[in-house]
Amino acid sequence: MAAARHSTLYFMLGAKADGETNLKGLQSIFQEQGMAESVHTWQDHGYLATYTNKNGMKRLPPIVRGGAIDRYWPTADGRLVEYDIDKVVYDEDSPYQNIKILHSKQFGNILILSGDVNLAESDLAYTRAIMGNGKEDYTDKDVLILGGGDGGILCEIVKLKPKMVTMVEIDQMVIDGCKKYMRKTYGDVLDNLKGDCYQVLIEDCIPVLKRYAHEGREFDYVINDLTAVPISTSPEEDSTWEFLRLILDLSMKVLKQDGKYFTQGNCVNLMQALSLYEEQLGRLYCPVEFSKEIVCVPSYLELWVFYTVWKKAKP
Amino acid sequence: MAAARHSTLYFMLGAKADGETNLKGLQSIFQEQGMAESVHTWQDHGYLATYTNKNGMKRLPPIVRGGAIDRYWPTADGRLVEYDIDKVVYDEDSPYQNIKILHSKQFGNILILSGDVNLAESDLAYTRAIMGNGKEDYTDKDVLILGGGDGGILCEIVKLKPKMVTMVEIDQMVIDGCKKYMRKTYGDVLDNLKGDCYQVLIEDCIPVLKRYAHEGREFDYVINDLTAVPISTSPEEDSTWEFLRLILDLSMKVLKQDGKYFTQGNCVNLMQALSLYEEQLGRLYCPVEFSKEIVCVPSYLELWVFYTVWKKAKP
């Protein structure tokens, strides 16, 4: 027998119809299927009959709709998942996006940008992964961070005695929100936009990258913490992929010949989107090679792919 | 304004009522709330009016009911989560429990015992955690594993050149299922129930522990991979906690004075259940101390607490 299906059957009985007789007629059909029956009679007001198949009934937690707190933030691969969110900490619209910081009992505060779970206070695994998972030596290095407004990457790198870290974040309000509510992630590095070995520019990274490329400035590491690879696997308009390629091309231009470019990719299940991204890597102005790693970021509730890209050695 | 609530309003109109007039009367109410309106008219058959508040409408993935594959395995703290399960690999009832092995696209095969997600092929983090997270030296040590039928712990420990590992698993069918379908987890260690440095006993661990205690046998490590701490935080009947305490007491009896006992606890959100467990630790026949660690096990979709317990040093 196939899995039981969920069906609601309505019977509109004429005034003179005998409900009990009708019910008896139906019973044999369900009983043939080996289903257990439970009938509730409300005097002359009708019947509620439930039929349960032999594997029993599995009760799922209900979806709570209309609450003041939205606990449902589907994964990138479109699965329904419920978070243990118990508080809205911050909820503002910036000129660029909706910025939410919600409190999860187990993950701490979670930054959600326009509906996408970005980073929670539990997610050091994300920051480590996008920095090369502890395999890089940042001492005395020149580093460029694109995005990264939550401050997690900046905070971890400045601990490693770099020469200079430049972070380019377009949205002052992300910094403002995280400064207040994601302290566990970034420490106090965002309290000042300038420190001994770092500076934060509140700017669109495209003109900054163009300026650096024009000036011939080069970095040992470029870390792209901007938007995720587009979820769509069939870009109707090429613009999203063109934007990604523009960022990649400009990043390669400001990357030293032996430098490394790190970025997050997508969830491991969106294989077509990942292939499309890898296709873009083959279409840059200079030949590159890449590796990828699958990482478990606690608050994502799905495995995530991170990329390392470098310039192919000159022959 | 509070979050929009989900409401369905039915209006039964008398035969002579003018639907359009009624609709107009209602419109002003919703428009006052700043809601956007979209009205569909089916000739003279009625209206469908949808009102969306200014934050727009959030669409959630639907719950798929009645499928041949059950993708919903709620977390221990009762949240609704959907897995990316695409295949039922194994589904059998043993004399002790229902044993399912389901294939997840991202986590690989997942072992589910009587509805509880036990271990997936992605979950080396679980095995590492319950072995002390790489901080222990198992060389030449005597180890006792309670449960562990998936073979994950056994497989990892035999790599570390122990003196002897004894694993006591009650359910031959768990071993049989995992032997076939969880190969990534256990390697080939379950192919034989006896090896150079290990033996697997298909027995209830209670009489085995009693026998060992009676014989005065002692182990360097006891790893309890049996059932989780009961989810219930108010044990109506003491038996579950008494069972847990019996296992703990017997384990302490076969543990060397400087030995260590490892076990999984529960999800981090079930704080009352965790406290109740810790209370039991204060009621054993000998004084013990403990530490705990919070670990992200990929397929669990919630953070998990692991315990290390040891005998208090004699004064």
Each of the 315 residues of chain A gets a pLDDT tens digit; together they read 233 344 445 455 555 666 667 777 777 777 777 777 766 665 555 566 666 665 556 778 888 776 789 999 999 999 999 999 999 999 999 998 899 999 999 999 999 998 899 999 999 999 999 999 999 999 999 999 999 999 999 999 999 999 999 999 999 999 999 999 998 887 888 899 999 999 999 999 999 999 999 999 999 999 999 965 443 444 455 677 888 899 999 999 999 999 999 999 999 999 999 999 999 999 999 999 999 999 999 999 999 999 999 999 887
Quickly list H helices, chain B.
19-32, 124-130, 152-158, 172-181, 183-186, 205-215, 239-253, 271-281
Neighbour-count burial for B31-65, b at 16+ CB within 10 Å, e otherwise: eeeeeeeeeeeeeeeeeeeebeeeeeeeeeeeeee
Neighbouring residues of B56: CB distance < 8 A, sequence distance ≥ 6:
none
Do the interacting molecules here have an ipTM over 0.90? no
CA pair distance B299, A303, nearest whole angstrom: 9
CA pair distance A11, A18, nearest whole angstrom: 12
Q: Name the band, by pLDDT with cuts 50, 70 and 90, for residue B68.
A: confident
Element (H, E) at A288: strand A288-296
Phi and psi angles of residue B301, each rounded to the nearest 5 degrees, phi first: 60, 25
* DSSP 8-state class, residue A230: P
Helix orientation angle between B239-253 and B271-281, rounded to the nearest 10 degrees: 50
Which residues in chain B are classed under CATH 3.30.160.110? 1-59
Which option is the CATH number for B124-311: 3.20.20.70, 3.40.50.150, 3.30.1360.120, 3.40.50.720?
Answer: 3.40.50.150
Total residue count of chain B as it appears in this document: 315
The answer to whether A122 and B295 are in contact (CB under 8 A) is no
Which residues of A are the active-site residues? 225
User: Under an 8 Å CB criterion, which residues of A touch B?
Assistant: 2-6, 58, 60-63, 65-72, 74, 77-84, 105-107, 115, 122, 125, 267-269, 296, 298, 301-303
Best probe of the B interface among A7, A58, A69, A103, by most B CBs < 10 A, is: A58
Neighbour count for residue A15 (Cβ, 10 Å) = 4
Mean pLDDT of chain B, nearest integer:
86
Contacts of B5 in chain A (CB under 8 A): 65-66
Neighbour count for residue A260 (Cβ, 10 Å) = 19
> Long-range contacts for A5-9 (Cβ within 8 Å, ≥24 apart)?
A5/B65, A5/B66, A6/B65, A6/B66
CA pair distance A111, B185, nearest whole angstrom: 34
The CATH superfamily of B1-59 is: Sirohaem synthase, central domain (3.30.160.110)
Per-residue pLDDT tens digits for B214-266: 999 999 999 999 965 443 444 455 677 888 899 999 999 999 999 999 999 99
Q: Do B269 and A84 touch (CB under 8 A)?
A: yes
CA pair distance A140, A130, nearest whole angstrom: 19
Which residues in chain B are classed under CATH 3.40.50.150? 124-311
Integer CA distances (angstroms), A4 to A35, A75, A100, in order: 10, 27, 40
Per-residue pLDDT tens digits for A243-261: 889 999 999 999 999 999 9
User: Residues B125, B131, B134, B139: is their CA dihedral positive or negative?
Assistant: negative
Q: Do A269 and B105 touch (CB under 8 A)?
A: yes
- A·B CB contacts under 8 A: 100
Largest alpha-carbon pair distance within chain B?
93
